[in-house]
Structure 1
Amino acid sequence: MVWNFHQYYANRSDGLIGKLRLDEAHTTSLKRLRSLVRSRIKDVFDEAKTIARMCERNNFTFESVKIEVSKSLLRYLTPETQTEITRLLSTMDEKARKSFISLNPRFRTQGSFQYDTLNKPYVTPPQEMDIDDGTYLPMELFDERPVIGHRLLILLVDSALLSLVAENNNWKFTPKRTCARLQIPQHNTHIDVPMYAVPADQFKQKEAALKAQLSFSDSYININELLTGRESQYQLDSNSVNLAVREGEEKWIKSDPKIVEDWFNESCIRIGKHLRSLCRFMKSWRDVQWSDGGPSSIALMTATVNVLDSYPHDKSDMDSAMRLLVEKLPVEFTSGIKSPDPTSDSFLFPPSHQHGVDEIDVMGKLDLLKVTINSAYKALTKSEALDMMSQMFGAWVTNSELIIAKQATPAFTNEPTLTAKPKRISPTMSSG
Structure 2
Amino acid sequence: MAQCNHLFIEFNNKIKLKSEKKKSLRKSRNALRTKIQSYFDNTLEVSNPKFWGQGSYMMNTTIEPIEGEYDIDDGIYLVHLSSKKEEEWPATSTVHNWILKAVDGHTSTPPVNKNTCIRIIYKNDYHIDFPIYIKGDDADHPKLAHKTKGWIDSDPKALTNWFNDEVTVKGDQLKRIVRYLKAWKDFKKGDDKFPSGMVFTILAANYFIEGYEDDDDAAFVAIAKEIYNNLNSSFSLTRPVFPDEELLADWSETAKTNFLSKLSTLVTNGQKALEKDKQSDASDIWIKIFGERFPKPNPPEEERVNKGYAFQTSTPAVIGNHGRSS
TM-score with structure 1 setting the length: 0.66
Q: Does 1:279 align with 2:220?
A: no
Q: Are residues 261 and 349 of structure 1, via their aligned partners in 2, closer, same or farther at CA, if it must alter by over 3 Å?
A: same
Q: 1:44 to 1:303 in 2, by over 3 A?
A: same
* Contact 1:303/1:332, CA 8 A, preserved across alignment: no
Q: CA deviation at 1:332?
A: 2.3
Deviations along 1:81-105, whole A, 9 cap, x unmatched?
xxxxxxxxxxxxxxxxxxxx33211
Structure 2 residue ranges without an equivalent (≥5): 310-321
Equivalences for residues 36-51 of structure 1 within 5 A:
36-49=31-44
1:162 Cα deviation after fit = 2.3
Pairing 1:198–2:135 present: yes
Mapping for residues 114-263 of structure 1, pairs under 5 Å: 114-122=58-66, 124-125=67-68, 128-140=69-81, 141-165=83-107, 168=108, 171-187=109-125, 189-199=126-136, 237-239=139-141, 241-248=142-149, 251-263=150-162
CA shift at 1:312, angstroms? 3.7
Task: Report the alpha carbon displacement of residue 134 of structure 1 after superposing the two structures with TM.
Answer: 0.7
Q: 2:38 is aligned with what amino acid?
A: D
Q: Are the equivalent residues in 1 in contact too, given 2:72–2:129 (CA < 8 A)?
A: yes
**Structure 1 residue 43: Cα displacement:** 2.1
Would you say the 8 A contact 2:158–2:242 is kept in 1?
no
**Is 1:375 matched with 2:272?**
yes
Residue identity matched to 2:219: A
Residue type of the alignment partner of 1:388: I
Distance between the aligned counterparts of 2:300 and 2:252, measured in 1? Answer: 37
- 1:246 deviates by 0.6
Task: Give the 3 Å change call, closer, same or farther, for CA 152–144 of structure 1 in structure 2.
Answer: closer
1:294 correspondence with 2:294: no
Q: Deviations over 1:331-359 (max 9, x none)?
A: 122222423344334332359xx752222
Q: SS at 1:164's partner residue?
A: coil
RMSD: 2.6
Match of 2:14 in 1: 19
Distance 1:164 1:284, change over 3 A: same
CA–CA distance in structure 2, aligned partners of residues 326 and 154 of structure 1: 39
1:264 alignment partner in structure 2: 163
Please tell me the residue identity of whatever aligns with 2:99: V
In 2, are the aligned partners of 1:4 and 1:403 still within 8 Å (CA)? no
C-alpha distance in structure 2 between counterparts of 1:272 and 1:36, whole Å: 34
SS of structure 2 residue aligned to 1:130: strand
Which residue matches 1:425? none
Residues 196, 244 of structure 1: 8 Å contact kept? yes
Shift of 1:190: 1.2
Aligned to 1:332: 230
| d(CA) in 2 for partners of 1:343, 1:109 | 18
Taking a change above 3 Å as real, the CA distance of residues 285 and 131 of structure 1, as seen in their structure-2 partners, is: same
Structure 1 window deviating more from structure 2 (153-162 vs 280-289): it is: 153-162
- Cα distance change of structure 1 residues 34 and 365 upon mapping to structure 2, 3 Å threshold: same
1:16 & 1:286 partners in 2: Cα distance? 15
8 Å contact from structure 1 (residues 8, 403) kept in 2: no
* 1:295 match: secondary structure: coil
Match of residue 215 from structure 2: 317
Moved over 6 A (4+): none
Provide Cα deviations, 1:336-390, integer angstroms capped at 9, x if missing partner. 2423344334332359xx7522221111110110111122223475433222211
- How many residue pairs get matched? 311
User: Structure 1 counterpart of 2:211, which letter?
Assistant: H
SS of 2:75's equivalent?
strand
Q: Is the 8 A contact 2:11 2:295 kept in 1?
A: no
Closer/same/farther in 2, CA of residues 411 and 162 from structure 1, 3 Å limit: farther
Local SS of the residue matching 1:107? strand
- Alpha-carbon distance change, 395 to 367 in structure 1, aligned in 2, over 3 angstroms: same
Counterpart for residue 221 of structure 1: none
Contact 1:336 1:349 in 2 (8 A): yes
Aligned partners of 2:118 and 2:130 also within 8 Å: yes
SS in 2 for 1:114: helix
CA shift for structure 1 position 418: 4.3
Q: 1:409 to 1:144 in 2, by over 3 A?
A: same
Aligned sequence identity (%) = 23
Partner-residue secondary structure (3-state), 2:219: helix
* Alignment TM-score, normalising by the size of structure 2: 0.86
Q: 8 Å contact 1:5–1:402 — kept in the other structure?
A: no
Q: Does 1:364 align with 2:276?
A: no
2:49 corresponds, among 77, 82, 105, to 105
